[in-house]
Amino acid sequence: MSVPKFGCRFFIRNLSDQTRFNPLGVQMLSKSLYQQVFPGAESQTEPSQEAINKSVSHLSEHGLWTNGSGTTVTQENIDINLPPLFGENILSHFTKLAEDQVSPYRPLIASLVCEGSLSSPPTQWNYKPGWTCYSNDGSITLVPFPDEKALIFDVEVCVPEGHAPKLAIAMSPNNVYSWVSPRLFSERDFAEKSKVNFDELIPLEGGESWSERIVVGHNVSYDRARIKEQYLFNGPKTKFLDTLSLHTCVSGQTSTQKVLWRSALKRKRQEMESKAFVQSHNEDEFFDAVAKLSRLSKEKWMEVSSPNSLADMYQLYCGGEKIDKSLSEIFIKGNSSDIRDNFQDLMGYCYQDVKCTYEILKVLYPLFLHHCPHPVTLAGMLEMSTMYLPVNESWNTFMQSASNQFVVWTNEESASDHKRKAQGVIIPKVQVSGTVTRRAVEPTWLTASNAKINKIGSEQKAFVQAPPGYCIVGADVDSQEVWIASLLGDNHFTGLQGGTAFGWMSLQGNKSEGTDIHSKTAQTIGITRDHAKVFNYSRIYGSGKQFASTLLKQFNPLLSDEEIDAKSNSLYESTKGIRRMLLSKKAQAIASSAGITIHSDGSINISDWVKEYKSFPPKSRVGTYWYGGTESHMFNKLESIAKSPQPRTPVLNCLISTALQKENVKEKFMTSRINWVVQSSAVDYLHLLLVAVKWLMAHYNITGGRLCISIHDE
């Protein structure tokens, strides 16, 4: 390894132990771990002296490289022996692991997607408790459960009467199944509204000889929470595929887009339904006007995306008439008597939802594989579909604060002392890809404290307790968005970890010396370090000066508007930098004649462009970039990905939703598009972690281990 001109005394330590440093003093994996994780990589080309000098010069400009070196703190090396990689490198290792994990389920999904059509519904639904099978040959049989490897599944609940299931439909390529709750055949109150007895749940499998199965549904975690076998600790091998989550990956919308989409739809309907409008035009003029209105009220992204409801998704992917959801009001506001009185219609309604889910799946699943081609993504999503929260008697002390959660008490016998233990399970209502960034969403469990009555915060997680003989292992990825963003910026600049000021502060910054990211921000604008954290994360997520000004006013109401403006400008110039615009040759000549400073690369400061933009002809702008800040290189990299025709995550190659692709939004929604690069990369990291942990548990024969929950970076 070549030593930079500036001198790095810490290299001497490499000669006598396992510790490794890069030319900037950033501690790397130990020699032993490096050789195991990256076999054969020792022969790779070392960074050039030019790249090293470029990084050192940049760090010096920001006061992070003094007296010939940057500050470095040596951490103790981790010395463990890892199982051998599957494949020649880390990339092929994860590809093979993920393929092995999804291989039992791929053909099951394909059996649904490739089937021409599913079974037709019966002319009359059987009003009997439990499962009824309607075969293609016309036979009707009572069965204990659907004996199928792949199913489309939907459950209906009578909301005013609690969480217990009332009706369900399951479909396979060969059969249709209906399930009717025994509750409908008895006036007895089976349980309190907030409780569900184990015997009231839907049996979907039989025996204890579990085999791989796939269950597809829309927001399928809701349906999964009503399946009996899912509450068994050593339960089945069934995985769940959620069409809602597939949709958010492919054509999901941001929260802002959903509001705009609904608003445009409302305006369109109001004008189309105006009696005065219809009466004042003949039929041809009316439909011409409707077509024109459709073009005016919807931007291109609205035509290629939709919100998450089954009805909206069905129209997007399948076209045709909008699904009639009016009968859902009986489940939302009615009671068991209403369900009995409308049984045939309600079973038909449930069948309609299953059929629509199937038709959506046929179109959506191939699109998902195009958007998320790496097997790790599918493996991670399937693993997350079976999250499981064990609780015991201590949960009862907390029940009043968790009104929208229900526990199923399994009361399994302890193998150690043969005493009855009050063991319960919560199936979290997780959408494994619930936002356009592909982050998981759960309406109740949060990563922070929360005082709202229907929310559960960090302080309540202690009530989730492992069964006897097991323990809960947790991990929180510290500053995940920061290190992902800094890694991208470092790679973009010189390819050296810590090569940018932002990257160096993330890896080497020291709180006690005031060289970490939050301390630097606090010093720049004269605020506390805790307040600086809020500024830093909001900026990385794409917030601008206006948001910074609002925060400053909130943190210090005594500041004048002029002081707030000055501090906001100072913060953004020192971190994000100054925006520059690259000009065409013709535009450069115009700028020069106007006395505007032109930089060596043919760019001008954006502030000069704003003053003189009327002087420039069309297509004068060649591009824009950030310059001079600690985070400029990072934001330039994020923007280069976000502005590309088809942005994909750097690691698993996942494609951004069509609702945010450049051809559909042009220059709009940049905050969401930049945020997607970091957040979606964090999802890649989570999926890689889940695949690795599952492999390690199998390798070391750790039986019975399972994922409890994962929300955001925890």
Q: Last residue of a domain, which of 384, 410, 432?
A: 384
Question: Which DSSP string do the residues of 643-703 spell out, in sequence order?
Answer: TSSS-B-TTT-PBPPGGGSHHHHTT--HHHHHHHHHHHHHHHHHHHHHHHHHHHHHHTT-T
- Rama region for 8: left / alpha / beta (φ>0; ψ in -120 to 50; rest): beta
d(CA 225, CA 428): 8
Domain end residue (candidates: 47, 82, 117): 82
* Whether residue 227 sits in one domain with residue 334: yes
Note whether 333 and 289 are same-domain residues: no
Q: Does residue 291 share a domain with residue 358?
A: no
Identify whether 125 is part of a domain.
yes
Do 499 and 568 lie in one domain? The reply is yes
| Residue 547: inside a domain | yes
**From CA 422, how far away is CA 177, in angstroms rounded?**
34
What region does 418 belong to: left with phi over 0, alpha with psi -120 to 50, or beta?
left
pLDDT recorded at residue 320: 74
Q: Do 292 and 195 belong together in one domain?
A: no
* Residues 45 and 184 placed together within one structural domain of the fold: no
The domain boundary, picked from 339, 364, 384, lies at 384
Total of domains in the chain? 4
Q: In sequence order, what DSSP letters do the residues of 44-62 get, joined into one string?
A: SPPPPHHHHHHHHHHHHHT
CATH number of the domain bearing residue 344: 3.30.420.390
Return d(Cα 684, Cα 94) in angstroms, integer.
12
Residue 443 located in a structural domain: no
Query: Is 238 part of a structural domain of the chain?
Result: yes
Residue 355: inside a domain, yes or no?
yes
**Exposure class string for 470-492: b at 16+ Cβ within 10 A, else e:** eeeeeeeeebbbbbbbbbbbbbb
Query: According to the model, what pLDDT value does residue 414 have?
Result: 40
Amino acid type, 435: T
Residues 258 and 242 grouped into a single domain: no
Range of the domain at 174: 107-248+324-384
* pLDDT, mean of each 10-residue run, the chain (714 residues): 34 55 90 89 80 95 77 76 91 97 97 84 95 93 96 96 96 95 78 77 85 97 96 92 98 95 80 59 55 59 94 92 90 95 97 96 98 98 96 77 76 49 88 95 66 56 85 85 93 95 89 84 88 87 86 90 92 93 93 92 92 86 93 96 96 98 95 94 96 94 90 74
Residues 38 and 119 in one domain: no
Amino acid 150: pLDDT: 96
Domain shared by 636 and 542, yes or no: yes
In this structure, what token pair is assigned to residue 373? 């081609």
Whether 282 and 353 share a structural domain: no
Residue 551 CA to residue 545 CA, distance in Å, equals 10
State the Cα–Cα distance between residues 470 and 456, nearest whole angstrom.
24
| pLDDT score for 8 | 32
CA angle 675, 680, 684 (to 5 degrees): 155
291 and 150 in a common domain: no
Return the number of other C-beta atoms located less than 10 Å from residue 311's C-beta.
Answer: 15
pTM of the model: 0.90
In a domain, 691, yes or no: no
Calpha distance 84→566 (Å, rounded): 56
Nearest CA to 301 out of 666, 654, 649, 641 is that of: 666
Would residue 26 count as lying in a domain?
A: yes
Separation of alpha carbons 155 and 346, rounded Å: 11
Residue 163 falls inside a structural domain = yes
Q: Where on the phi/psi map is residue 271: left (φ > 0), alpha (ψ -120 to 50), or beta?
A: alpha
- Same domain for 111 and 231? yes
Residue listed under structure tokens 């051809």: 663
Burial class (CB in 10 A: 0-12, 13-18, 19+), 617: exposed
